[in-house]
Structure 1
Amino acid sequence: MKTTPEHNERITKMTFASVYPHYITKVEKKGRTKEELHHVIEWLTGFNEGKLQALIDEKATFETFNLNPNANLIKGVICGYRIEELKNPITKQVRYLDKLVDELAKGRKMEKILRTN
């Protein structure tokens, strides 16, 4: 599936606070914990729980996120998009996080989710 300029603009304006509750619901519904979610988010972004709360309070967008150098090892399809083919860097960042949350919810082992070279 190809992204459109409108899709990329919507993703760019999306706040972390708007999707964070959905991530929690998704992982907890599948028997995983908020702490595991935070561990995954911290691996991807370097943000600890305090920084995550600050981002939520500030209604920060995904543009403020810095990614783990191994984020490019995240591959596959999420929400109908092949991550490797996404051109917009912000859209790619959001889909990286979506993919990790999805893997966590599906019961994948943490060692596999937190990719290394």
Structure 2
Amino acid sequence: MIPTPEHNERMAKMTFASVYPHYVAKVEKKDRTKEELHEVITWLTGFDDEKIQTLIDEKVTFEQFFAHAKLHPNAEMITGTICGYKIQEIANPLTKQVRYLDKLVDELAKGKKMEKILR
């Protein structure tokens, strides 16, 4: 599946704060911790715990979230399918970045070892 322009726009305008509780619930349901989730977010974006909380409090959009992020140089090694989309086939950079984060959260929830997740 290739994301449509409408899908890309919806992803850009979605707030990180609206999705974050779902990330926490997903990982905690699988006996992973919020701290591990933050480790994954920090690896991908460079944000520390304080910055993550600030971005949640400010209700930034994913567009704003990733505009401030310093993506890890190995982020492009994140491949596979998430939500029906092959990450490596997504052309829109922002949508690809959001799917990178989704994929890392998914891998954490599936019980992958942290050293495998943090490529």
Same fold (TM over 0.5): yes
Q: Displacement of 1:59 after TM fit?
A: 0.9
**Where do residues 44-63 of structure 1 align in structure 2 (5 Å cutoff)?**
44-63=44-63
Instruction: Determine if the alignment matches structure 1 residue 81 to structure 2 residue 85.
Output: yes
Percent of aligned pairs with the same residue?
76
**Aligned equivalents of 2:58, 2:94: Cα separation in 1:** 18
Q: Displacement of 1:41 after TM fit?
A: 0.4
Aligned residue identity for 1:19: V
**Aligned equivalents of 2:10, 2:62: Cα separation in 1:** 11
Q: Which residue of 1 aligns with 2:37?
A: 37
The RMSD of aligned alpha carbons is 0.7
Q: Displacement of 1:2 after TM fit?
A: 1.3
Query: Structure 2 unaligned runs (5+)?
Result: none
Q: Which residue of 1 aligns with 2:113?
A: 109
Q: What TM-score does the superposition give when structure 2 sets the normalisation length? A: 0.94
Q: Displacement of 1:69 after TM fit?
A: 1.1
Q: Displacement of 1:42 after TM fit?
A: 0.3
After superposition, give the CA deviation of every residue in 1:35-63 in whole Å (9 maximum; x if it has no partner): 00000000000001100011011111222
**Aligned equivalents of 2:24, 2:9: Cα separation in 1:** 25
**Aligned equivalents of 1:32, 1:62: Cα separation in 2:** 24
Aligned pairs, number: 115
| Contact 1:62/1:93, CA 8 A, preserved across alignment | no
**Aligned equivalents of 1:16, 1:57: Cα separation in 2:** 10
Structure 1 stretch 16-25 or stretch 57-66: which is displaced more? 57-66
